[in-house]
Each structure stands twice: as C-alpha cells, then as structure tokens.
C-alpha cells in the first residue's frame, strides 16, 4: 500500500517516570515488570490510602528568569528536557530558533502547586511565594519548554485527557509536513495532585490496590506521574512515527463506547496511514487502564484489528495511569523496545496482572513474562491511547521503511 502519511523521526527522547529518570534506568525495569515504583500514599485522597506511581528522584530546581514556571509538572518536564538538550541545541544551530516548534500535552498542569498555594492562603492569608497563574495554564508547560530551550517556532499545548501525549506527536508531524518547522519538541507531562486523585475517586475509578488490566478482578486505575519529550524531525533513520489514527466515540463524557468502535477506528486509521497490515504489527501497547469499561471496549477493538496472536501488554501497572502524559510515555516505551532490539529479536514488556483472565473478554496474546519475539526488520508496533470523551489516538512506531 502507498501511504500519504509523511513518516518522521523520533530523533531524541527524554523521560522520567516511576521506573526511573533516564532511558538507561527505565528500560531494564520496564522489561522486568518492576512494580516497585507503585507505593501507598495517604496524602492525595481524603481519608484514604491508595496506590500511586510517584517519581522518587530529586527534581531540578526552576529559578531565576524561569521562576514563575516553578511547579512540579515543569520540574518533571525539565528533567526530561535535559536528556535531549544537546539534540535541541544542534537543531537550533542547524535551522534557527524560529524553525523549532513546541507541542506539549497535559491534563493537570501545575494543579499541585495551586493546591499548596490555596492551602497556604487559607492558613496565612497569603499564597505561597512564587505562585503564579501560568503554573495552572495548560499552555504553561509549552511556554516553559520554549523558554528553557530557546525554541521560537509555533508553540502550543493540547489537553485532550489521556490521548494528549500521543496527539502532541501527531501535531509535531503535521508541523513538519506543512513546512512550518524543521524540528519540533513534542511530548507531555502530568504530575500527581489531590484534585485529580479525588476526582477519580468520585468516579469510583480508583483501584483498591494496583491496577489489574484485563483481569476479571479489575477494579480501576492507579494514578502516576511522568514527563516525556521527543525531538521530532524529518530524518529518514532512527525510530519513525510511521502512522497515526484519531477518532471520537461521540458516546459519553467519561465512558468509552462499549463496542469499542471508536478505538477500532483509530487503530485501523493508524495502520492505513502507515501503509501496513495488522499482521505486520509485532506488538501492541494497550491503553489498558484496568477499569471494567475501558478493558472491555479495548479488548473488543484490539481483537477485531490484530486478532488473538499479536503480543500485547499494558504497562500502566508499572508506571500508573499518567493521564495526559500516558500516550507519550507509552510511545517512549515502544521507542525503547525498537531502539534496543537484539538482532532479529524485540524484547517486550510483560503484562503484569493477577493472571485471572476475564472470560467475558475476547482473548488477547498478553505477554505473561518478559519475552523476546522474532521481528524481522523493518519492525512496527502499535500504541493505543483512549481518553475521556472518547478522544482516541493510536500511533504506529517502527523502523525505517524504504
């Protein structure tokens, strides 16, 4: 098949999540199915202890001219940005600052900083020093990235719930295809906060323990935090964004279409854009939240598109549901497994759950333990992100195709 979709390179990648603060830290823990980053916290949900996937590493300080951006969300972003700084500097030197764009996703922005600020005002009559409203703006993280890096091209943010990080990469590719940019810094960041945790608690969507996707015992999500940034370019080598598909369920504000029709549409559009068949997909990173409704709808869609033999796993039990960052984080996991292939083999992260399959769900080839699969080059993998409001985005990442 011939595709009109312009592939682009995910040239550089930086990330921080509950598994670590660099690719070298995250990769071995990812493929080992390490859940040690998921721990109980009693400070986020009123009167309850719940499981959260928190970043434990010290975060860089934001001071000086950037002080008005000082919040945890941007500290996470800064930690990820440091990992691609050299690549960004090279791109600016090669193309000029006005040709480097920024697209970032988020669903929490600096809400945790606002919680601290309003708590202080209630107690003392004053906000915490340094609190600024830009920390609350969804566009604030994109503005922060531009200020840190010196990128002066188009700069904007997306907040489409759990699909935001994936959509940021799609938007970056569009800016390149339109000729507006020669490189784009794209990704997403979300940090833990009480507002979000209590919101999901009110929806009865929080798990009593760790998330348990695709199990008959699943009872909800556990939240996490992360930041991921990519430098997206037109280069023809390296890990490529081969295709993307987007759709809307138009079904409900928070629940997915129970038949998975919107999810299926996004998956098929991504494959069509990449110009590949379902049989060419070596692995599917599931959205896999562990809620009864999401897993039921997603398993139907995935089974219809790729069948029961393609290896699949959800990585959310390891890093939590990082909301707006999840699409970018799971694209980063796919980037890692493609860039760290061993000969003809790809190493796949396991699907960590209690092993109690739900007979009401169509069977999927869940990766039960760290495994390697033969994937002759050029390999391709699929990552699915399905957000509130039925906002769906699926990405096909792969090796260069001639």
Q: Distance between CA atoms of 391 and 79, rounded to whole angstroms?
A: 28
**Is 222 a known active-site residue?**
no
For helices 326-339 and 164-177, give the axis angle rounded to 10 degrees: 70
**CA distances, 242 to each of 271, 295, 332, 338 (Å):** 9, 26, 14, 13
Count of beta carbons in the 10 Å neighbourhood of residue 64: 7
**Is 93 a known active-site residue?**
no
Q: Are 210 and 33 in contact (CB under 8 A)?
A: no
Q: Are 226 and 164 in contact (CB under 8 A)?
A: no
Count of beta carbons in the 10 Å neighbourhood of residue 68: 18
Dihedral sign of CA atoms 257, 261, 263, 265 in order: negative
- The single residue of 162, 312, 393, 394 carrying the catalytic annotation is 162
Q: Which residues contact 33 (CB under 8 A, 6 or more apart)?
A: 318, 349, 350, 352, 369, 370
**Is 321 a known active-site residue?**
yes
User: β-pairing, 226-233 with 281-285?
Assistant: unpaired
- The single residue of 17, 69, 71, 287 carrying the catalytic annotation is 287
- The single residue of 321, 334, 351, 393 carrying the catalytic annotation is 321
Residues annotated as catalytic are 162, 287, 321
């Amino acid at each position: 098949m011939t595709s009109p979709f312009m592939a682009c390179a995910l040239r550089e990648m930086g990330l921080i999540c509950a598994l670590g603060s660099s690719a070298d830290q995250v990769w071995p823990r990812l493929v080992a199915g390490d859940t040690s980053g998921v721990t109980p916290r009693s400070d986020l949900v009123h009167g309850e202890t719940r499981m959260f996937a928190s970043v434990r590493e010290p975060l860089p300080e934001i001071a000086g001219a950037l002080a008005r951006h000082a919040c945890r969300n941007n500290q996470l972003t800064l930690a990820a940005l440091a990992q691609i700084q050299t690549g960004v500097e090279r791109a600016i030197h090669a193309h000029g600052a006005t040709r480097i764009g920024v697209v970032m996703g988020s669903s929490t922005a600096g809400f945790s900083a606002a919680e601290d600020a309003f708590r202080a005002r209630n107690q003392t009559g004053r906000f915490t020093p340094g609190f600024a409203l830009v920390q609350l703006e969804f566009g604030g993280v994109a503005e922060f990235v531009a200020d840190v890096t010196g990128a002066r091209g188009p700069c904007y943010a997306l907040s489409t719930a759990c699909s935001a990080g994936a959509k940021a990469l799609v938007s970056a590719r569009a800016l390149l295809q339109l000729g507006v940019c020669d490189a784009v810094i794209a990704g997403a960041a979300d940090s833990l906060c009480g507002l979000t945790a209590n919101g999901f608690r009110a929806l009865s969507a929080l798990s009593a323990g760790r998330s348990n996707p695709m199990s008959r015992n699943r009872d909800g999500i556990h939240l996490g935090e992360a930041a991921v940034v990519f430098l997206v370019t037109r280069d023809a080598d390296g890990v490529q964004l081969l295709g993307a598909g987007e759709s809307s369920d138009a079904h409900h504000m928070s629940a997915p279409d129970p038949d998975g029709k919107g999810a299926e549409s996004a998956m098929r559009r991504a494959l069509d854009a990449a110009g590949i068949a379902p049989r060419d997909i070596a692995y599917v990173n599931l959205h896999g939240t562990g809620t009864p409704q999401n897993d039921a709808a997603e398993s139907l869609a995935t089974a219809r598109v790729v069948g029961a033999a393609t290896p699949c796993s959800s990585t959310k039990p390891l890093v939590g549901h990082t909301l707006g960052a999840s699409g970018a984080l799971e694209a980063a996991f796919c980037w890692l497994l493609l860039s760290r292939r061993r000969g003809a083999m790809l190493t796949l992260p396991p699907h960590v759950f209690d092993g109690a399959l739900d007979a009401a769900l169509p069977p999927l080839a869940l990766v039960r333990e760290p495994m390697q699969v033969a994937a002759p080059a050029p390999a391709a993998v699929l990552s699915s992100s399905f957000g509130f409001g039925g906002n769906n985005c699926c990405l096909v990442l792969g090796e260069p195709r001639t």
